[in-house]
């Protein structure tokens, strides 16, 4: 293992907006603003790079964003979809190293020092992560590579979107020197104005400033920012040992709106299997099952049911989600109007550790799920499906087999 640390900071580009563009092909290449309708009082949660070209920024009032970019696509946001995407990306990170420190849904630090001998040097690993995030998750990520968290974090932000910045060991101070002082951790608006009054506008100028003078004027804080200006940062990547996600979910957006109940339920089965497998992978159980439907023109509906006993069994998750779906569709019929479905999703929340599972009551399901997981792990997710009697007959008919 190298004595020089290898730290990556990975930051998904325009995350919420990118998930929306990934899941809705009609949004791609267009300005997308996440947060609500243009006339609402809320603020922008995220903006695609196409919207940013018009001056739209996060935390800006939606009404201001609408004035700057009147042709933008405004969406309310889908937290379940964002959490699911984040968990998929974080799981990909953990394939490279157990030392992953999530900072938010869309960014994390990775310490890959101990795994360079397994996956290649730090730059190669960064390039592989960028490629796999794009291919497996359909998202774009920027990565900063350095010997410490400070330089890795600053590096990931320099060439967005789809950036890669590698800071060579020993070159930290030179890398930082030409950058504006506000890029340095701890330098906010007031500190920037104060330093500007002393003629300090770049990180290099701060590094060249007398350390004792900074300590006299700013105390310990002055010493801290002077050290950072020299690229000194001993902070470690500290993954949360007891990290447990708040929910596990999957959703699917149909290419065209559909009223076909069998198509929706078949998709719901596949999503439920994905949720169950992820729960088992993490030794978790879910107590609350939530169904999400997005119907035309753009209304999101949710229904949920809390179980007496938490579960990670595919079939139980599916049966609950299917019941919720049928209840929702029945209410539509009673109201005299059935809305075509654009998106369907299933989420398990109220998560608890798998040791609380009543093993003897569900031993048969566990063996079945373990067998299914093993087959899919070896041959791919499409290798094996559970089938209803009707779908089994359909498969036999098309395969030339006779029903018995």
* One domain for residues 149 and 18: yes
* One domain for residues 119 and 210: no
pLDDT computed for residue 40 by the predictor: 83
Q: Mind listing the pLDDT tens digit for each residue in 117-145?
A: 888 899 999 999 999 999 999 999 999 99
Question: Is 179 inside any structural domain?
Answer: yes
Residues 7 and 147: beta-carbon distance below 8 Å: yes
Question: Is 133 inside any structural domain?
Answer: yes
* One domain for residues 62 and 129: yes
Q: Mind listing the pLDDT tens digit for each residue in 169-226?
A: 999 999 999 999 999 988 988 899 999 999 999 999 999 999 999 999 999 999 999 9
pLDDT computed for residue 294 by the predictor: 84
Residues 57 and 69: beta-carbon distance below 8 Å: no
Structural domains of the chain, count: 3
Residue 400's region, left for phi above 0, alpha for psi from -120 to 50, else beta, is left
Q: Mind listing the pLDDT tens digit for each residue in 83-94?
A: 889 989 998 898
Domain boundary pick from 133, 150, 169: 169
Compute the mean pLDDT over every residue in the chain, rounded to the nearest whole number: 85
CA distance 144 to 374: 36
Instruction: Residue 393: give its domain's CATH number.
Output: 3.30.1490.100
* One domain for residues 9 and 140: yes
pLDDT computed for residue 383 by the predictor: 47
pLDDT computed for residue 375 by the predictor: 57
Catalytic position from the list 107, 116, 172, 273: 107
Which residue do the tokens 């800071």 mark? 167
pLDDT computed for residue 185 by the predictor: 87
Instruction: Residue 223: give its domain's CATH number.
Output: 1.10.150.20
pLDDT computed for residue 239 by the predictor: 85
* One domain for residues 1 and 118: yes
Domain boundary pick from 229, 257, 278: 229
* One domain for residues 39 and 156: yes
CA distance 9 to 167: 12
* One domain for residues 5 and 139: yes
Question: Is 239 inside any structural domain?
Answer: no
**Rounded to the nearest 5°, which phi and psi values hold at 150?**
-55, -55
* One domain for residues 87 and 182: no
* One domain for residues 99 and 144: yes
CA distance 397 to 404: 11
Active-site residue flag, 107: yes
| Under-50 pLDDT residues of the chain | 1, 355-364, 382-384, 387-404
Three-class SS of residue 165? Answer: strand
Helix axes 220-229, 211-218, angle to 10 degrees: 140
Sign, CA torsion 40/46/48/50: positive
Q: What's the domain range around 375?
A: 247-399
* One domain for residues 348 and 213: no
Three-class SS of residue 332? Answer: helix
**Rounded to the nearest 5°, which phi and psi values hold at 7?**
-115, 135
Q: Mind listing the pLDDT tens digit for each residue in 284-295?
A: 899 999 999 988
CA distance 342 to 255: 8
Question: Is 146 inside any structural domain?
Answer: yes
Residue 340's region, left for phi above 0, alpha for psi from -120 to 50, else beta, is beta
Domain boundary pick from 169, 188, 214: 169
Residues 310 and 280: beta-carbon distance below 8 Å: no
């Amino acid at each position: 293992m190298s004595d020089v640390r290898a730290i990556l900071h990975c930051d998904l580009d325009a995350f919420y907006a990118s998930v929306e563009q990934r899941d809705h092909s009609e949004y791609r290449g267009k300005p997308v603003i996440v947060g609500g309708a243009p006339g609402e009082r809320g603020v922008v949660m995220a903006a695609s790079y196409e919207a940013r070209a018009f001056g739209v920024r996060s935390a800006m009032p939606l009404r201001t964003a609408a004035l700057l970019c009147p042709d933008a696509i405004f969406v309310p946001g889908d937290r379940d979809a964002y959490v699911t995407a984040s968990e998929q990306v974080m799981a990909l990170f953990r394939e490279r190293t157990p030392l992953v420190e999530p900072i938010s849904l869309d960014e994390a630090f990775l310490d890959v020092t101990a795994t360079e001998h397994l996956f290649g040097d730090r730059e190669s690993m960064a390039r592989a992560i960028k490629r796999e995030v794009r291919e497996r998750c359909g998202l774009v990520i920027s990565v900063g590579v350095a010997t410490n968290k400070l330089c890795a974090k600053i590096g990931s932000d320099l060439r967005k979107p789809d950036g890669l910045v590698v800071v060579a060991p020993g070159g930290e101070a030179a890398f930082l020197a030409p950058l504006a002082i506000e890029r340095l951790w701890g330098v906010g608006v007031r500190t920037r104005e104060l330093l500007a009054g002393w003629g300090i506008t770049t990180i290099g100028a701060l590094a060249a400033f007398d350390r004792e003078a900074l300590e006299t004027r700013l105390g310990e804080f002055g010493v801290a920012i002077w050290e950072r200006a020299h690229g000194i940062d001993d902070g470690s990547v500290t993954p949360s040992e007891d990290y447990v996600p708040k929910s596990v979910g999957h959703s699917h957006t149909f290419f065209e709106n559909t009223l076909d109940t069998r198509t929706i339920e078949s998709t719901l089965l596949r999503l439920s299997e994905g949720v169950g497998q992820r729960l088992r992978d993490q030794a978790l159980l879910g107590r609350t099952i939530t169904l999400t439907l997005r119907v035309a023109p753009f209304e999101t509906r949710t229904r949920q049911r809390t179980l007496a006993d938490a579960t990670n069994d595919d079939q139980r998750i599916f049966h609950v989600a299917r019941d919720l779906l049928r209840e929702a569709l029945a209410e539509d019929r009673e109201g005299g109007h059935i809305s075509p479905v654009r998106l369907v999703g299933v989420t398990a929340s109220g998560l608890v550790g798998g040791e609380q599972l009543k093993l003897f009551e569900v031993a048969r399901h566990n063996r079945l799920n373990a067998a299914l997981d093993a087959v899919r792990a070896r041959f791919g997710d499409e290798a094996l499906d559970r089938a209803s009697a009707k779908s089994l007959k359909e498969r036999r008919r098309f395969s030339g087999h006779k029903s018995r």
